[in-house]
Structure 1
Amino acid sequence: MVDLNPKRSDEPVWWGLFGAGGSWFAMITPVTILVLGIMAPLGILDADTLSYERVTDFVTSIIGALFVIGTLSLPMWHAMHRLHHGMHDLKFHTGTAGKVACYATAFLISALSVIFIFMI
């Protein structure tokens, strides 16, 4: 028999953010670390490439703003979802309070990243 009034779950939203954050962290973050953490300090990049004016121009553009917001917020959603389910797997059943704490932290970081972009 088919249940005509199925219970709605919010889990697809969290899994979507989890997947987006994991994909971002796996594909974009290593390149960002390579460019900003290895190539720039070693002098492989021109000094003018990462000048304050150029970086500010990039971050205030639509693509740059989305890049910074994605870099800060998507991996946080991934980490908080993993933490929430990891606590459950380790038998720390925090219930709704743990879920709210994890996702509120990710939301806070996301909101702060958007505020950070608008402050520039």
Structure 2
Amino acid sequence: MNSTYKVDRNTVNKHPQRSDEPIWWGLFGAGGTWFAMITPITILVLGILVPMGIIDADTMSYERVSEFATSIIGALFIIGTLALPMWHAMHRLHHGMHDLKIHAGVAGKVGCYFFAGLISALSVIFIFMI
């Protein structure tokens, strides 16, 4: 039997340390999905169709937008639009620095995720102030 890979049962760690990476990868994936699927539609509607007059400007009146923003669906949409892509960007920045051989260690990780958390908290505060 010619095997190049052997597992020594005595060296397998039977009590591995828990990692916090699934949380960050989950937020990274959610932010990337949001940014890829929702953001282009938002830009199309708000940045192209309304200014060109294809969608009536009264549809985007202050009263209607304010009513949308204060509904639970609207609040979640605004928070998702602000927070999720930020988590994606900060996770990408954190791992991108590592790929560029900039090893910021725990301070870099805390800094990136603190900033994403700050933007998330500010988006929630913004919604409650409306």
TM-score using structure 2 length: 0.90
Percent identical pairs in the alignment equals 79
Work out the CA distance in 2 between the residues paired with 1:3 and 1:10.
18
User: How much is the aligned-residue C-alpha RMSD, in angstroms?
Assistant: 0.8
Query: Which runs of 5 or more structure 2 residues have no equivalent in the other structure?
Result: 1-8
- Give per-residue Cα distances to partners, 1:41-69, cap 9 Å, x unaligned: 11111121000000000000000000000
Who is 2:28 aligned against? 18
- Give per-residue Cα distances to partners, 1:50-106, cap 9 Å, x unaligned: 000000000000000000000000000000000000000000000000000000000
Secondary structure, counterpart of 2:58 in structure 1: coil
1:27 is aligned to 2:37: yes
Work out the CA distance in 1 between the residues paired with 2:108 and 2:100.
13
TM-score using structure 1 length: 0.98
Task: Give, in angstroms, the shift of residue 4 of structure 1.
Answer: 3.0
Who is 2:62 aligned against? 52
Aligned residues: 120
Who is 2:48 aligned against? 38
Of Structure 1 and Structure 2, the greater helix share is in 1
Q: 2:103 aligns with which of 88, 93, 101?
A: 93
Task: Give, in angstroms, the shift of residue 5 of structure 1.
Answer: 1.6
Work out the CA distance in 1 between the residues paired with 2:118 and 2:51.
31
Task: Give, in angstroms, the shift of residue 3 of structure 1.
Answer: 2.8
Structure number with larger C-alpha Rg:
2
